[in-house]
Amino acid sequence: MRILIVDDEPAMHDSYRRSFASGVAADSGALDMMAAELFGAGDPPQHAETAMDFAVTHAMQGLDGVAAVEAAIRAGDPFAVAFIDVRMPPGIDGKETATRIRALDPEINLVIVTGYSDFAPIEISKAAGPADKIFYIAKPFEVAEVTQMASALAHRWQIDRELAATRAALAEKIVILEEQGRELAANESKAIHIANHDSLTEAPNRLAFLRALSEKARGTTSFATAMVDLDRFKLVNDTLGHLAGDDLIRQICGILQDNVPEGGLVARLAGDEFGLLFDSPGEQAAVMACERVIQACAASFKIFGHSVQAGASAGMVFEIGGDCDPVDVLRRADLALNDAKQNGRGIVRVFDDSMDESIRFRRRIEGGLSQSIKKGELSLAYQPIVAREGFEVVGFEALLRWNTDEFGPVLPDMFIPIAEESNLIHELGDWVLGESLQVLKDWPGQYVSVNFSPRQFRRHNFVGHILEFVQKHGVEPSRVQIEITETAIFDDADRAAETLYRLRQMGFRIALDDFGTGYSSLYNIRKFALDCLKIDRSFIDGMGRERESAAIVHSIVHLGRALGLGVIAEGVESEAQVQALNLAGASHFQGFHFSLPIGPEQAREMAEIRYLVDPSQREDVCLEPELGNGTLG
């Protein structure tokens, strides 16, 4: 550690030499006291009890001391402490020396050594401070006083340098992190833009259009959705090439954006197909707006030096917001567009039911569904949910079946959406819940898992309604698992979180169905009170063929286990899937490999058997499904 002595008396230099020649650790107790006085309360520096070697430089005048400091800085080996006399004729005095040294080296510790002074300590401190880096020793001094002062200040100087280096490194890291943060934000913004915009026209893409349409569908304002398709666009591609076709698409996109009603959205859905979405006070006004757009497209465009006569057709749907299905709105607009194409092109067609035979069929289904309970056409099938250990049957999922005289068995995927749209879902849901609770009472301890649609979940006083059912049937809430999808809870997350919390408080089990196919996020899992996640069967089916599906399954299982949630794998149909899911760590299984959906009597028998072995090894425990008047869909 380097020490500088600045004094004009040779005898004083001899005293300093004798002081630093005798070592430093003579009295560690006194040194600790000095360190405590210098550094304040608390533990003294650990280095204070260790002897320190000093390299001492002597200067007879203030200017010589200043020059020594300059040379040390240039060499990259600065002084830790400088002992400075105050009176040093004929050169500069100690105050000026200290001031100049401080200007050169802000980190050096200065010790003013004098028997008397022309300057008060506060004057020197103001000139050569800060105050915590300037100290005083009176002449004559003791050897221990000098060595202990030097040792304490040298240790302090060393610690200050280490701290400064650490701070500099930290500041550099902060700068790097800030730059990375800005880069990440820019990349995220770019990725979001790319994910929601068409690369050719920079217009919103199908994903962004569907999102905007979904928002409109949930609102209360009236709006129009139109699909616009270029007429004879293939001829342009075939005769002038795809680059010419791309140029025409860009120009048409600009025409649409210039002519869509104010506040409207133009999106490129695919190829030469565009979507329009705009508010309108009525259907006739929406038709007129679409006709103006089609007229604007019927123009001559310059494409790579060629004159191209363009044209377009449109299919339109007018809706008054209120929970209409955005996918169905787009489907009907597409049907209307096809009708426009078939009826002369260059026109606007508004969708009506005659364009879609399925509409008439759906209405017949809806009429039959409203009478299904009265006619006794509904039934429930039960598919077991088995635990990983020992294949214990811990519960059954209740599956609704409908067998009609007019249409025969109708798949749930067909009639459940119709029930949801027509509000029949509440009546069907109450029947399913009541029937499953009645059957549940015959089981020795398993729970029943009942699916609830988004409309049911949004029902007024949903919690009280469910509680009333279980109390009426004398069933413990812990034996009822409520299955919901993320779609059911995403529209109003705060209300959904409160509803699920109240259900959990009462003892009901909560399962998040089809996890991974909706708005899956850590935010949802953390926000909502859940017991388990159900992995969608599409991922289970793809495990053996697609690396992505296997990775998703493993991620969901690990996520569920980390959060203390059960993980039910749906659609398990083979021993290979069972082994793969066992390795992944899934806690429960459900699927044809263990049992098809079965009738209530067989469900009771299976519940009493309770433990199943692997069906591939024990054919005698594989129960045949009781179809009754339902289907296995």
Judge residue 574's burial from the number of C-beta atoms within 10 Å of its C-beta, 0-12 exposed, 13-18 middle, 19 or more buried. Answer: middle
pLDDT digits (tens, 9 = 90+) for 409-465: 999 988 998 898 778 999 999 999 999 999 999 999 999 999 999 889 988 899 999
The 10s digit of each residue's pLDDT in 211-260 is 999 988 888 889 999 999 998 888 888 888 889 999 999 999 999 999 99
Read off the pTM. Answer: 0.49
Q: What percent of the chain has pLDDT over 70?
A: 89
Q: Which pLDDT does position 56 carry in this prediction?
A: 94
Element (H, E) at 539: helix 537-542
Q: Tell me which of 128-142, 143-157, 383-397 is least confident.
A: 128-142
Residue 531 has pLDDT above 70, yes or no: yes
Q: According to the model, what pLDDT value does residue 526 have?
A: 74
Mean pLDDT of the chain: 86
Which domains are delineated in the chain? 2-165 (3.40.50.2300), 206-355 (3.30.70.270), 377-613 (3.20.20.450)
Confidence at residue 412, expressed as pLDDT on a 0 to 100 scale: 92
Whether residue 116 has pLDDT greater than 70: no
Q: How far is it, in rounded angstroms, from Cα 309 to Cα 248?
A: 10
Q: Report the alpha-carbon distance of residue 243 to residue 476 in Å, rounded.
A: 68
User: For 8, which DSSP code?
Assistant: S
Which range is least confidently modeled, 39-43, 146-150, 386-390?
Answer: 39-43
Contact indicator for 44, 32 with CB cutoff of 8 Å: yes
576 has a pLDDT exceeding 80: yes
pLDDT at 560 over 50: yes
Q: How many of the other CB atoms lie within 10 Å of CB of 571?
A: 18
Q: Mark 235-250 as b/e (b = at least 16 C-beta within 10 Å).
A: ebbeebeeebbebbbe
For residue 519, give the amino acid letter: Y
The confidence score (pLDDT) of residue 68 equals 96
Cis check for the bond before 615: say yes or no (omega within 30 of 0): no
As given in the structure block, the two tokens for residue 193 are 């833009």
Confidence category of residue 142, pLDDT binned at 50, 70, 90: confident
The helix (H) or strand (E) run that includes residue 358 is helix 357-370
- The pLDDT of residue 133 is above 60: yes
